[in-house]
């Protein structure tokens, strides 16, 4: 299958040490955007913060800008209709994200600032533990996500979750008094990223 083969090439580069974790995430999100045909594609991980659980964006590729961009956290990740649907169904697929009951709670903090009209988020697990989401977003005109797009994202999430864990485990902390916590999601959420990323 060409889709899986391409994904294996990207994962193989990381496993052979040809790219570092941040470059792997950049290649992975570019691949997702191309395969799904969406404006933006990203990876988020669940983290615990002083104010509760959040979904932190560790990589977001914007196809219209052809570069990696920053994206705001999704806070209160253990309550509300978006997170209930995500945990119940394993995905959230919404054409009109700004007015849909499931996603309207994200309107002020995320959807409007990022100009997101439609979104399709897919959970992924590592060793049976919910770890984060692969996110596809459409900026501008809304899109009616197809079953093919949903199945493609599900396959990508299933295959890439193992490489994503490898990306975290290859980030070796050698500095005393590290600024990140030792848990896997927090280490991934604080990996070094290029400084030129601007939220859009």
CATH number at residue 74: 3.30.450.40
pLDDT of residue 177: 37
**Residue 196 belongs to a domain:** no
Q: Does residue 103 or residue 162 have the better pLDDT? A: 103
pLDDT of residue 35: 95
Rg (CA), the chain: 16
Residue range 96-126, pLDDT digits in tens: 999 999 998 888 888 999 999 999 999 988 7
**Residue 194 belongs to a domain:** no
**Residue 38 belongs to a domain:** yes
pTM > 0.75: yes
Number of structural domains (the chain) is 1
**Residue 198 belongs to a domain:** no
**Residue 163 belongs to a domain:** yes
Of 133, 86, 132, the residue nearest 105 (C-alpha): 86
Q: Domain of 25?
A: 2-172+181-189
Question: Which residues, other chains included, contact 87 with Cβ-Cβ below 8 Å and sequence gap of 6+?
Answer: 123, 130
């Amino acid at each position: 299958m060409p889709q899986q083969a391409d994904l294996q090439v990207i994962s193989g580069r990381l496993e052979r040490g040809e790219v570092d974790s941040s470059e792997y995430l950049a290649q992975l999100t570019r691949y997702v955007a191309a395969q799904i045909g969406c404006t933006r594609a990203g990876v988020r991980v669940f983290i615990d913060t002083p104010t509760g659980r959040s979904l932190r964006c560790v990589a977001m590729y914007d196809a219209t800008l052809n570069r990696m961009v920053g994206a705001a956290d999704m806070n209160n990740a253990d309550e509300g209709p978006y997170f209930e649907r995500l945990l119940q169904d394993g995905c959230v697929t919404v054409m009109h994200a700004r007015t849909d009951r499931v996603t309207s709670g994200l309107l002020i903090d995320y959807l409007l600032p990022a100009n997101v009209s439609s979104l399709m988020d897919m959970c992924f697990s590592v060793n049976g533990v919910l770890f984060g989401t692969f996110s596809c977003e459409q900026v501008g005109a809304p899109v009616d996500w197809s079953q093919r797009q949903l199945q493609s994202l599900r396959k990508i999430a299933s295959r890439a979750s193992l490489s994503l864990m490898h990306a975290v485990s290859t980030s070796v902390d050698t500095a005393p008094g590290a600024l990140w916590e030792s848990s896997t999601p927090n280490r991934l959420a604080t990996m070094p990223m290029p400084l030129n990323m601007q939220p859009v």
